[in-house]
Amino acid sequence: MTPISPMQHLLSTEGLGRDEATAVLDTADELKRTLLGREVKKLPTLRGRTVITMFYENSTRTRVSFEIAGKWMSADVVNVSAGGSSVGKGESLRDTALTLSAAGADCVIVRHPASGAPKRLTEWLSDTRTSVVNAGDGMHEHPTQALLDAATCANGSGGSRAGGSRSSATSCTAGWRARTCTCWRPSARRWCSWRRRRCCRRASSSGR
């Protein structure tokens, strides 16, 4: 297998190749199997790393999932919300990101109502070593949910369930191995499959 180059950021599924997606899914499966049966769910994978979740929208499942995963990997996890930070006093997204990076953030996980916000973060943080993970940007992308859905299908669990309010209408599963998507269309009460790009565009326009 050709070695996979390390990714600094995870912003969308569009630029995620088959080998990269498979490597992410395989790594996640290996970590999951390692943790199963442990009385203390802790691995040293991210020991000494600081992970900051920066959520500008209300979220339960997505935010808690990131926090628990970070702690299971031994990262120092810090939660920042728009309501409890200087954002409430008018601080811009750029200033907040630069402040968190200067404070030692190795990774910023961001959820924002504006499409493209995580991409802008990578531009503002281009002179730093801080990684950016998109945890949902408006009606645009939710790559971690797509990967979770793909892992669910790969594990033989059948369908997938979306994690956020915008994802509840249409669950878009990026099937990189087959280059297709499987989407649950509530109005039609059926699963539909399309080529990945066409499918994701339909999912986005339908309120994913």
Mind listing the pLDDT tens digit for each residue in 127-160? 999 999 999 988 888 888 888 888 877 665 544 3
The answer to whether 115 and 94 are in contact (CB under 8 A) is no
Q: How large is the average pLDDT for residues 173-190?
A: 46
Q: In terms of pLDDT, which residue wins out, 204 or 106?
A: 106
Residue 5 — very low, low, confident or very high, per pLDDT cuts 50/70/90?
low
Domain annotation for the chain: domains and CATH numbers:
18-137 (3.40.50.1370), 143-154+161-205 (no CATH)
Phi-psi label, residue 6: left if phi above 0, alpha if psi -120 to 50, beta otherwise: beta
In one letter, which amino acid is 192? C
Confidence band of 19 (pLDDT split at 50, 70, 90): confident
Asked if the model's pLDDT at residue 74 lies above 60, the reply is yes
- Judge whether 74 and 45 are in contact, CB under 8 Å: yes
CA distances from residue 93 to 26, 122, 131, 201 in whole angstroms, order as listed: 34, 12, 16, 27
Minimum mean pLDDT among 34-38, 63-67, 174-178: which range?
174-178
Q: List residues bridging with 108 in a β-sheet.
A: 52, 132
Count Cβ atoms below 10 Å from residue 47 Cβ, excluding itself: 11
Query: Looking at the predicted structure, is the pLDDT value of residue 105 above 80?
Result: yes
pTM: predicted TM-score of the whole model, two decimal places: 0.72
Q: What is the mean pLDDT of residues 79-87?
A: 75
Angle, alpha carbons 10-13-16 (nearest 5°): 75
